[in-house]
Amino acid sequence: MKVDLKLLQEKIQYQFHNEELLIQALTHSSFSHEMTVRRRPDYERLEFLGDAVLELVSSEYIFHTYPQMSEGNMTKLRAGAVCEPALAHCANKLELGKFLYLGKGEECGGGRKRESIIADVMEAIVGAIFLDSGIEEAKNFIMTYILADMETNKMFYDSKSTLQELVQKKGSARLEYTVLEEKGPEHQKEFVVAVNLNGDRLGVGTGKNKKAAEQKAAYEALLKMKKNK
């Protein structure tokens, strides 16, 4: 499988000293398991490390940026900034899915677009940069590609509640979520959900369960309402 590592490093504006770390960060377990000789390590250990670095950097950023914010609200803001949908959103901006090493089954199953995978890879890249160059370079990557749009990212945490509060403030009435479609095999089912306000469609979202799809639909609605302000 040919992956353009040079292009990816140009996209993230970071050149690895040890390119094997980047390769590991992009390697899904399905690809590793299909290798019969010299099996390559997958990204899971790097993801573990990257998650810790991301939590530290985002915590420091929120602490200094919002000096009057309570501990509870800081926790909620951090959760929104680094949750799976937010990380997947950031990964999609970099088109990370194009650079993954996937096994044949995962490839056929749409793994390049699966949020859980590309979000994990985003954290694995943080971990890889940390091992390659230390905290400052990892922090630079996080600030540039994950925390740059905090206002958008924080809406991912609980879009449904945020949308409900916004609708109530406007005095609007019926906010309803409707399942439009269930697709895929039982173990990898995806739900497509629409959110409607007084019968008018505000957004559509897809997720691995109804709750996740509803959150996505609500997020799409919030973006639309923000754009139309």
- Predicted confidence (pLDDT) per residue in 73-93, tens digit: 899 889 888 888 889 889 999
Residue tagged active-site, from 123, 158, 214, 220: 123
How many alpha carbons lie under 13 Å from residue 137 in its C-beta half-sphere? 16
Is position 136 annotated as part of the catalytic site?
Answer: no
Alpha-carbon span 154 to 50, nearest angstrom: 20
Model confidence pLDDT, tens digit, residues 6-25? 999 999 999 999 999 999 99
Q: What is the CATH number of domain 5-156?
A: 1.10.1520.10
Q: What is the mean pLDDT of residues 177-186?
A: 85
Higher pLDDT, 63 or 33: 63
Q: Domain residues of the chain, as ranges?
A: 5-156, 159-227
Residue tagged active-site, from 34, 51, 107, 137: 51
- Strand bridging mode 190-197 / 200-207: antiparallel
Regarding the domain delimited by 159-227, which CATH topology (the fold level of the hierarchy) does it fall under? Double Stranded RNA Binding Domain (3.30.160)
pTM score: 0.80
Is position 51 annotated as part of the catalytic site?
Answer: yes
